[in-house]
Structure 1
Amino acid sequence: MTTYVLVPGFWLGAWAWDEVGAELRASGHDVVPLDLLGSTAEAHVDEVVAALGGREGVVLVGHSGGGPVVAPAAERARNAVSHLVFVDTGPLPDGLAQIDFAPPEGQEWTRARIAANDGVNPMPTREEFDAQGTSTAGLDDATFARVHERSRPEPEGVVTGSIRRGTPDPTLPKTVVACSFTAADAKGLIDAGVPGFAEMSGREWSFTELPTGHWPMFSEPKALASLLAGLG
């Protein structure tokens, strides 16, 4: 049996992992999906580290905005983690915030949304995601509407605050599950030294593809669970 600690991306909660978690539990694994409730990015790291406390052999999984959270959490609780998984995401270097990964026009758009919504960033509509280049492929309208209805806004400190990184351990296996991009896309970005991808050049990194949109826990939960089970 393997323990999976599942960290959701922006706007999502532990509920986002319901179908994936059910599949993993049916295979005999222990599943710990998290709600990240802090108002800063560093607070989210603290929440993951607390969930890892006292555990061993954990496969730590981060989706989307959870990727930059699980990387430093694994560095701070290294003894608990046996495999680090990034679902359609990656780590960010020390001192960078989530918003820094967006192009200038995307950053301006996000800051305007936060200013207009009392310091929080609500989940965009499907049309807004498409305009920003975030793939909603694989989600029918009913599923997207259900996810959007359950979403919660992200606090400004989570979106614009940076996270303190440590030293990545090259002996810790790290896997990227590429859903809205390909392994070849990632290699090109690694070679170009793009933040969030440059770190992935080490031998401990592997890539596997699950071609769907950015939310495979909703569009391909069984396939995602199968991939995760193979990493335990």
Structure 2
Amino acid sequence: MATFVLVPGAWLGAWAWEDTVRALRERGHTALPLTLTGLAERADEGGPQTDLDTHIADIAGFVERNDLRDVTLVAHSYAAAPVTGAAGRLGDRLERVMYVDSAPFTAGMCMLDLMPPQAAEQLRHQVDAAGGGWRLPMPPFEVLGLSTSLDGLDEGRRHVMRARVTPQPFGTYTQRLVDPAEIGPGVDRVLVACNDFTKLLDAGVPMLASLNQPPWRRFDLRTGHWPMLSAPAELAGILDTAVS
């Protein structure tokens, strides 16, 4: 059985993994969801100084403090950035890294690089206007849906998500990933692609080409960008298959 450390994307906490965690534990796995600094129940721990390095330290520290071994580290969405940074720090504690509707970052990248300059500038205005200069509130669903698949998020799930999200410390979006340590060649690499990402991979986008070949293993999941909320049992099934 595997030991999963599950890291949520922007605006989310460990709560987002609840149903997936339950399904993984029913299959006999150890499933440990993680809340990053400044979010959910740790919202009061955040501040203008909270950045990508903070979240990298959160993940590596969680694994080390709990003396976890043979870890399967799971990154959803934004968490790809800190998971990429933390993975190389874990040495032989890391057995597998899995990216859920996300992909590993390269040195020098930041989250704002993944969007057009105009969209990045709009986020900066939101932070200044509604986030005290350091927090990014989650946009309305109609805005998220312009660039991200909302498939599977019915009104009930959207209500739960909206009620529980917290603003994202914006330093985690602006700080660039600094020379992450290489993970060992024996570490298993897994990609779980949801609807929009599947289309990009199938289209042969050059910057994603390496994810379609070894050492990467790819699993497709027909749902939107938040599969732990829209298809938690199906996501758990894929995670289980990937480690079996």
- Give the TM-score, by structure 2 length: 0.87
* 1:81 positional shift: 1.2
Distance 1:187 1:180, change over 3 A: closer
Q: Is the 8 A contact 1:4 1:29 kept in 2?
A: yes
2-11 or 32-41, which moves further after superposition? 32-41
CA root-mean-square deviation: 1.7
Cα distance in 2, alignment partners of residues 181 and 170 from structure 1: 29
1:219 paired residue number = 230
2:160 matches 1:149 = no
Distance 1:202 1:71, change over 3 A: farther
User: Aligned ranges for residues 51-200 of structure 1 at < 5 Å?
Assistant: 51-53=62-64, 54-117=67-130, 118=132, 119-131=134-146, 133-164=147-178, 165-183=180-198, 185-186=200-201, 188=203, 190-191=205-206, 193=207, 197=208, 200=211
2:14 paired residue number = 14
* 1:169 positional shift: 3.2
Give the percent of matched residue pairs that are identical in Structure 1 and Structure 2.
33
Cα distance in 1, alignment partners of residues 84 and 213 from structure 2: 14
2:57 matches 1:46 = yes
Corresponding residue pairs, total: 227
Q: Structure 2: any 5+ residue segments left out of the alignment?
A: 39-49
Q: Deviations over 1:176-203 (max 9, x none)?
A: 1001335452254552x3xxx3663662
2:43 paired residue number = none
* 1:157 positional shift: 0.6
Q: Is the 8 A contact 2:201 2:212 kept in 1?
A: no
Cα distance in 1, alignment partners of residues 209 and 136 from structure 2: 28
* 1:48 positional shift: 0.5
Q: Is the 8 A contact 1:170 1:202 kept in 2?
A: no
2:214 paired residue number = 203
* 1:170 positional shift: 3.3
Q: Is the 8 A contact 2:149 2:196 kept in 1?
A: no
Cα distance in 2, alignment partners of residues 153 and 171 from structure 1: 37
Cα distance in 1, alignment partners of residues 22 and 101 from structure 2: 21
Cα distance in 2, alignment partners of residues 179 and 213 from structure 1: 6
- Give the TM-score, by structure 1 length: 0.91
2:42 paired residue number = none
Dislocated runs of 4+, deviation >4 Å: 187-190
Cα distance in 1, alignment partners of residues 33 and 62 from structure 2: 10
Cα distance in 1, alignment partners of residues 94 and 172 from structure 2: 24
Distance 1:199 1:69, change over 3 A: farther
Structure 1 counterpart of 2:14, one-letter code: A
Q: Structure 1: any 5+ residue segments left out of the alignment?
A: none
